[in-house]
Amino acid sequence: MTTIYLSLPEQAEPRIRFGTELLKQSLLKLGFSVQETGPLTLASYRQLEGIKIAVGDRRCCSFIRELEEHEVLLYHKDAPEGEGFYLAKLPGRLFVVAGGGDTGVLYGCQELAALLADKGELPDELAYGDAPVMKLRGPVVPLQKTKVEPPRRTYEYPITPGRFPWFYDKPLWVAFLDRLLEQRCNVIYIWTGHPFSSLVKLEDYPEALEVTEEEFFLNAEIFQWLAEQCDCRGIWLVLKFYNIHIPLPFAEKHGLDLHQPQPLPITSDYHIQAISAFIRSYPNVGLMVCLGEALQGALYGVEWFNETILAGVKEGLKDLDRKELPPIIVRAHAIPSERVMEAALPNYANLYTEAKFNGESLTTFTPRGNWQETHRHLGSLGSVHLFNVHILANLEPFRFGAPSFIQKCVQAAKYRLGTNGIHLYPLFYWDWPYSPDKTTPRQLQMERDWIWFSAWFRYAWNPDLNPKLEREYWINELAGRYGSREAGEAILDAYEASGECAPKLLRRFGITEGNRQTMSLGMTMSQLTNPERYRPWKELWESQSPQGERLEQYVERELLGEAHIGETPVDIADNVDYHADKAVRAIGRAKAHVTRGQEEFERIASDVSAIALMTRSYTHKVRAAIRILTYKRMSGTDFLAHAELLEQALPDFRKSLDYYRELVALTDNTYLYANSMQTPQRRVPFPDGEKYGHWRACLPIYEVEYANFSVNVEQLRQSRLPRKVLESEQDIVPYVQAGFTLHSSHAETYEVRNQAKLFMDGEILASQVAEELVGLTGIRLSREQAVKEGISLELELKEPARVLVGYFNSADAEWLKVPNLEENTHADDRGGLSPVIKNGVSVFFYPNVNVHAFAYEPGRHTIVFGRGAYLIVGIIKADQPLHVRDLAGASSLDTLDWLYEN
C-alpha cells in the first residue's frame, strides 16, 4: 500500500483542517495510506520517501513561501489571493496546495480531491490555479412561514422548534452545508423579521424575549454550532432583519405598533442594546439590514442606520478583541440607499450593499433603466455590491433549470450592473426547506432544485465559461442522474426551452415583477385589457424587460399604422408558444432513455407539461385581448359598433380557458399549492393568497369571466346593449362622517367643499370636490413641512373608520406617493391602495387629486405617511359602501370590464 504524507501547518485553521480531511478521505477511497506530518522545509522534504502533499496559506506557510522564494514553486498565472488556490506537482514527488487564504486552501484541497475521484489516481503533471470572480456567493435560508400569525404580521415569527423544526436538524444542516461547499458558496443569508427577540436577552427589556428560556438556550446552542459549521467550510453566516420591527410583547407593554415608521427613543435604545448583545454573543456572524418596508427610509434611513444600527454594532465591539469590523450588508429596498451609504462609509469601513436583480421575479438577463443605474451607482462606491435573485413569483412553483439563461443573468449582473456577489433565493422561498410538490414525504428544495442552486453558484464563481463546453457539462450532470447521455441531453433541452416561458410572459403582460402577483395562476381579462385598475408597476417593463410594447400600445400603433418598437405582444406570444412546444417534444424524447431517477423525471416531465399549458392559456388570452382592445379603440363609446371584433376574440378566449382546465387537472395531482406566500399581499390574479393558492380555486372565476363575456358578446351581436351598460348611472350617496378627535397641534380641521383652502400655508384652493366628500371634516396641514420633513398626525377614532387620503396626480417629489406592495409588503394592510374616487378633488393651478380610503380601528393612532404633501379630505364610517368612480377621463364603462364581470 502506497503511503501519502500529508503536511499541514503547525496550527492549521479549521478551514484548512476541513479541507485536508476532504483530501484525506479521497486518498483513502483510492487505497492509499495517509500519514499526517508536520511542516516540511526545502532542505528536508526530499528526505521523506514517497509522495508528499503540502497544503497551506501562502501568506503564512513557511514551506510554501520558501518554495516560492527559491522559484521551485512558480505560477503560470496570478499568484493565488484570498479564495484563490494553485495546485502543482514539484520535483521530489511533492504536490502543493497553495491557497491565497484559509478558504483558498480549503478550495484547493477540494479541487485536488475531486481530481482524484475523477481520475482514480494522482496526476503525472499538475499546474492548475483558480479563483472566484464574485466575492460573495450564497443562498438565502428563510425563517419564514407561508401564513401570517395574528396579531403578528408578515415576517414576524419567533424562532421555535414548533415553527421551524428543520432549523434544529443538525444532519439536515450538515448535508446542506456540504452541498454549498461543493458549489463553493462562502455565505448563507438567514432571513427573518426580527431575530433578536429569539437570540439575545436584555436586562433592561426582559419583555422583549419572545421565546421560553428553554427555547432561548436551544436557539443559542444551534446558532453558535451553525456558525462554527459554516466557518470551517469557508461560509460566512449572515443574519438579516427588518426595520423598524419590534417584538410583540415589547410592543404591547409600551403601547407601540409592531412596525414603526420613524425612530423613537425607546425603539432606538432597544435596538442598540439588542444589536450590541448579538455582536457580543455571536462575534463571527454578520448582519444584513433592510431599512425599507416599515421604516420611512427616505426620511429616517440615514439617521436610523448610523445612530442606531452602527451605534449598536460599535457598542457590541467594545468588549471584543477584534481587529476587523464585522461586515454589514445594507439592502437597497424602498429607501434611497445611496444617501445611507454616503453617510455611513466614513463612519464604518466594512459595508456591503445589495439590490434586486429583476425585482421579485426572473424576467430578463438585460436589466436596464432606473434599476440598472441604481446598481451601477452602488457598485461604484468602492464596497462589495451584491445582486439579489429575489422571490421568484413568476417561476414558482415549477422547477427551473435553464443554465444558459442563468449564465447570461450572472454575466449581466457583472457587466451591466457592476455587481460583485450573489444573494440567491430558493425557488419556493416561504415554505423552506420543502418543495410544493404533492409527495409523501415532502421533497426538500435543496434536492429538487439542485440545478437551480448549482447553476447560479457555478457562474458566480466564473460567469464566462465557454457555452459549448458548458452544454456538455450539464448534459453529463443530467446523464449521471437519469442514466444516459440521450436522457441528459433531452432533459437539458426541455429545461432550457421551458425556462424561456415565464420570464417572457411576465415582462410583457404582467402587472408587476413583485410577489403580489402569482403568475402561474394566470390573469383575468380585465388585468390584461385594463391594467391601470390594478396599479401596474412600470419598472416591470421600463427596467426589468427589454424594450417593447404593452398590449394597448401595440394595438394603438397597429391601428395607426406606426412602426412597432422592440418586443411586441404578438412576438412574445408566438415565441413562448414555440418554446413550450419545443420543451414538450424534448421531454418526450427523453422518456425512452431514462434508466434511473424515474420518479423525479416524471415530476420534471409534469412540470414541462404544466408550463406549456400555462403558456398556451396565456397566449390565447393575449390574442383575445388584442381583439378586445382593438374593439375598444375603434368603437369608442358606441358599444354596438365593431362588435364583430369581440366575436373574433371568442375562440382564443375559449381555448385559453380549455388549457387552464387542463392545467387544473394536472396540478391537482402534482402540487399542494402554486404560491409560497399565502397571505393577503397576494393580489393578482385574485386577492388573498391563501384562498386563491391553487389553480382549482381560480378556475371558477375564470369560468364566470368567460361566460359573462360570451353572454355580453351575444347581446351586442343582436344590437342590444347589456343591462350593466344601460344601468350604469348610479345615484351618488354622500359619505357619512365618523367621530374623531385631532390631537396634533400642527394641523387643523376644516370643512371639505368647493373653494376650501386645502393647506395651512399658501392659498391652494379646491376648485371642484366630488359630491360624496362635500360637508365632511377634513384635516389641514402645512404643505411646506410635509414636503421638507413629512408630517405625523395624532388621531383618536371613536368608531371603525376610513381615513380619506388625497394623493396629487403628479410624479414630482413634492407630492406624497401612494404606498405600493413592490416596496412595502404591508402597504395594503389597511386597504386603500386603489383610489375610490379618481380625480375626486380638482385644485386651482395644481394636479388633480385621487382619493384613497384606509381602514382604521377605534382608538388612538399615529399616522405617518412619509415625505410629501397630501390631503386628508374626511374620516368616514367604515361600514358604508364605496362606489368607485372617476370624475374625469375614462368612465368605468370605457374600461370594458363590464364585458367580463358580473
pLDDT in tens, 14-57: 999 999 999 999 999 999 999 999 899 999 999 999 999 999 99
> Does 797 have pLDDT greater than 70?
yes
Question: One-letter amino acid identity for 109?
Answer: C
Residues 76 and 87: their CA atoms lie apart, in Å, by: 11
Q: Which helix (H) or strand (E) holds 65?
A: helix 62-69
- The confidence score (pLDDT) of residue 610 equals 98
Residues 13 and 59: their CA atoms lie apart, in Å, by: 13
Asked if 192 contacts 241 with a C-beta cutoff of 8 angstroms, the reply is yes
CB-based contacts of 885: which residues, under 8 Å, 6+ apart?
A: 837, 838, 891, 892
Question: What average pLDDT does this structure show over 561-590?
Answer: 98
For 387, list phi and psi in degrees, rounded to 5: -105, 140
Predicted confidence band of residue 368 (pLDDT cuts 50, 70, 90): very high
- Bridge partners (DSSP) of residue 766 are 843
Nearest one of 675, 171, 149 to 429, comparing CA atoms: 675
Among the residue ranges 327-341, 555-569, 643-657, 842-856, the one predicted with the least confidence is 327-341
Question: What average pLDDT does this structure show over 633-641?
Answer: 92
- The confidence score (pLDDT) of residue 293 equals 79
Residues 452 and 139: their CA atoms lie apart, in Å, by: 11
Predicted confidence band of residue 853 (pLDDT cuts 50, 70, 90): very high
pLDDT more than 70, % of the chain = 99
Task: Assign 574 to helix, strand or coil.
Answer: helix
- The confidence score (pLDDT) of residue 337 equals 79
DSSP single-letter state for residue 308: I
577 Rama sector, left if φ>0, alpha if ψ -120 to 50, beta otherwise: alpha
Task: Assign 877 to helix, strand or coil.
Answer: strand
Asked if 783 contacts 869 with a C-beta cutoff of 8 angstroms, the reply is yes
708 Rama sector, left if φ>0, alpha if ψ -120 to 50, beta otherwise: alpha
The DSSP bridge pattern shows strands 286-293 and 236-243 to be parallel
> Does 310 have pLDDT greater than 60?
yes
**Cell for 41?**
522545509
Asked if 405 contacts 412 with a C-beta cutoff of 8 angstroms, the reply is no
- The confidence score (pLDDT) of residue 729 equals 52
Instruction: Give the 3-state DSSP-derived string for 641-681, with helices as H, strands as E and coil as C.
Output: CCHHHHHHHHHHHHHHHHHHHHHHHHHHHHECCCCCCCCCC
- Bridge partners (DSSP) of residue 444 are 434
More confident residue, 895 or 476: 476
Asked if 664 contacts 497 with a C-beta cutoff of 8 angstroms, the reply is no
Residues 415 and 133: their CA atoms lie apart, in Å, by: 12
Predicted confidence band of residue 619 (pLDDT cuts 50, 70, 90): very high
Asked if 354 contacts 288 with a C-beta cutoff of 8 angstroms, the reply is yes
> Does 890 have pLDDT greater than 60?
no
- The confidence score (pLDDT) of residue 82 equals 96
Question: What average pLDDT does this structure show over 815-829?
Answer: 82
Task: Assign 314 to helix, strand or coil.
Answer: helix
Predicted confidence band of residue 820 (pLDDT cuts 50, 70, 90): confident
Global pTM value:
0.92
Question: At CA 288, angle to CA 287 and CA 294, rounded to 5?
Answer: 125
Q: At what angle do helices 450-461 and 467-482 cross, to 10 degrees?
A: 150
Residues 264 and 243: their CA atoms lie apart, in Å, by: 12
Look at the block and give the residue holding cell 487564504.
101
More confident residue, 732 or 352: 352
Asked if 63 contacts 92 with a C-beta cutoff of 8 angstroms, the reply is no
**Averaged confidence pLDDT in the chain:** 94
> Does 555 have pLDDT greater than 90?
yes
Residues 247 and 2: their CA atoms lie apart, in Å, by: 61
- Bridge partners (DSSP) of residue 742 are 795
Nearest one of 499, 517, 505, 497 to 541, comparing CA atoms: 505
Task: Assign 164 to helix, strand or coil.
Answer: coil
Residues 243 and 263: their CA atoms lie apart, in Å, by: 10
DSSP single-letter state for residue 517: B
Predicted confidence band of residue 724 (pLDDT cuts 50, 70, 90): confident
DSSP E strands, 753-819:
766-769, 777-780, 792-797, 801-808
Q: For 709-718, what is each residue's pLDDT tens digit?
A: 999 999 999 9
First-to-last alpha carbon distance for the chain, in angstroms, is: 83
- The confidence score (pLDDT) of residue 52 equals 97
- The confidence score (pLDDT) of residue 116 equals 96
Question: What average pLDDT does this structure show over 642-656?
Answer: 97
Nearest one of 246, 243, 187, 196 to 220, comparing CA atoms: 196
- Count H helices and E strands in the chain, helices first: 27, 25
The DSSP bridge pattern shows strands 846-856 and 801-808 to be antiparallel
Predicted confidence band of residue 730 (pLDDT cuts 50, 70, 90): low
Residues 406 and 410: their CA atoms lie apart, in Å, by: 6
751 CB burial (10 A radius; 0-12, 13-18, 19+): exposed
Predicted confidence band of residue 103 (pLDDT cuts 50, 70, 90): very high
> Does 455 have pLDDT greater than 60?
yes
Q: For 583-604, what is each residue's pLDDT tens digit?
A: 999 999 999 999 999 999 999 9
Nearest one of 523, 498, 426, 495 to 143, comparing CA atoms: 426
> Does 184 have pLDDT greater than 80?
yes
CB-based contacts of 629: which residues, under 8 Å, 6+ apart?
A: 529, 551, 552, 555
- The confidence score (pLDDT) of residue 742 equals 95
Residue 873's alpha-carbon distances to 758, 777, 800, 884, 890, in angstroms, are 9, 7, 17, 16, 23
Q: Which helix (H) or strand (E) holds 716?
A: helix 695-717
**Cell for 721?**
346593449
DSSP single-letter state for residue 223: H
More confident residue, 567 or 10: 567
- The confidence score (pLDDT) of residue 823 equals 76
Residue 556's alpha-carbon distances to 534, 626, 633, 648, in angstroms, are 21, 10, 8, 18
- The confidence score (pLDDT) of residue 889 equals 54
Question: One-letter amino acid identity for 507?
Answer: R
Q: Which residues of 176-205 are buried (b: 16+ CB within 10 A; e: fewer)?
A: bbebbbebbbbbbbbbbbbbbbbbbbbeeb
Q: Which residues of 324-359 are buried (b: 16+ CB within 10 A; e: fewer)?
A: eebbbbbbbbbbebeebbeebeeebeebbbbbbbbb
Among the residue ranges 201-205, 549-553, 675-679, the one predicted with the least confidence is 675-679
Predicted confidence band of residue 107 (pLDDT cuts 50, 70, 90): very high
DSSP-assigned letters across all residues of 428-472: TGGGTTB-SB--SSPPBHHHHTHHHHHHHHHHHH-TT--HHHHHH
